[in-house]
Amino acid sequence: MSVEAIEDLDGLRTFLGPARSKGRVIGLVPTMGALHGGHGALIERARADCDRVIVSIYVNPTQFGTGEDLARYPRRLEDDLAFCEFRGVDAVFAPTDAVMYPDALHTWVEPGVEAQGLCGESRPGHFRAVATIVLKLIHAVGPSRAYFGEKDLQQLAVVRRMVADFNVPVEIVECPTHREPDGLAASSRNGYLDSGEREAARVLYRALRAARQRIADGGRDPNEALGAARAVIASEPMARIDYIEVVGPEDMQPVPRIQGTVRVAGAVWIGGTRLIDNVRCEAPREAQPT
């Protein structure tokens, strides 16, 4: 059976009506398309957990700032439909701007502390638009579960908190970052890189691993871990740091001292392409005085 492509809210209601009335578990995987292995991993997880899997494909214009890559963001719906069909997706919801924004919105979701710093600082207004569109997509589909990747760590923190704050009846399922064999996190933006830039892009994950190693070795000072990461990035002439931070796993705020679980999150420019990534780090337990 081929995957259904649905453009509007009525179509979605008609398609999901029978499944909903039979109490089937519906899973939503929100994406901006140009699907790759990272999306594939989310879809597989949803396929294993849910009776019906809906992938949404929508390049949300309001989450792109002036001068960002909205116009050149890759759009290839036909390929994406084939990708979804191959992975057993039941329907792709690919709305137009007129469906998602029939009028200019008067109401927006205003995320809190989770949206401050990191990408929130480099991309003002981005997470307000992300939270708003995610809420609209969740209301449109009405899933029991929605799947998000840890690659977009801050987005996940914003969405998790929004769902808790607004009692949105959906379970947010967090999926690990899918990487290319050389460690680069899969991303639709990797396609912007030429072969030299693609080689240089490996530096981000290498830098994050260097920071993680410092922490695993018992380093408690975030600046020390960040110094190790910065030194790796400095060794790659094509890379320019946007930010690199050690943050708490829930609120995304820089930690003064490393304890328990933290995340090292970074964004680098490789030529004209901005890439993000992060790793989870566990500080070893401090020896107790005897």
Catalytic residues: 39
Q: Which of 175, 258, 265, 283 binds ligand AMP (CB under 6 A)?
A: 175
- Residue 31 touches ligand AMP, criterion: CB under 6 A: yes
Distance (Å, rounded) from C-alpha 93 to C-alpha 9?
A: 9
Distance (Å, rounded) from C-alpha 241 to C-alpha 204?
A: 9
Stretch that binds ligand AMP, among 4-12, 116-124, 180-188, 261-269 (CB under 6 A): 180-188
Q: How much is the CA Rg of the chain, to the nearest whole Å?
A: 20
Strand arrangement of the beta sheet that strand 26-31 belongs to: 4-6, 91-93, 52-57, 26-31, 145-149, 171-175
Q: Which of 5, 32, 105, 238 binds ligand AMP (CB under 6 A)?
A: 32
The HSE-up count of residue 100 (CA atoms within 13 Å, CB side) is 23
Q: What mask of x and - would describe binding to ligand AMP in positions 222 to 251, judged by CB under 6 A?
A: ------------------------------
The HSE-up count of residue 187 (CA atoms within 13 Å, CB side) is 20
Q: What mask of x and - would describe binding to ligand AMP in positions 98 to 137, judged by CB under 6 A?
A: ----------------------------------------
Distance (Å, rounded) from C-alpha 175 to C-alpha 43?
A: 10
3-class SS of residue 234: helix
**Residue at shortest CB range from ligand AMP:** 149
Distance (Å, rounded) from C-alpha 201 to C-alpha 93?
A: 32
- Residue 187 touches ligand AMP, criterion: CB under 6 A: yes
The HSE-up count of residue 230 (CA atoms within 13 Å, CB side) is 11
* CB 111 to ligand AMP: min, Å: 16
Q: Which of 6, 15, 38, 120 binds ligand AMP (CB under 6 A)?
A: 38
* CB 285 to ligand AMP: min, Å: 29
Percent helix, strand, coil in the chain, to 5, is: 40, 20, 40
* CB 284 to ligand AMP: min, Å: 27
Q: Which of 56, 177, 190, 273 binds ligand AMP (CB under 6 A)?
A: 177
Helix axes 126-141, 153-165, angle to 10 degrees: 60
* CB 277 to ligand AMP: min, Å: 9
Q: Which of 123, 128, 136, 178 binds ligand AMP (CB under 6 A)?
A: 178
- Rule CB under 6 A: which residues touch ligand AMP? 31-32, 38-39, 41-42, 148-149, 151-152, 175, 177-178, 185-188
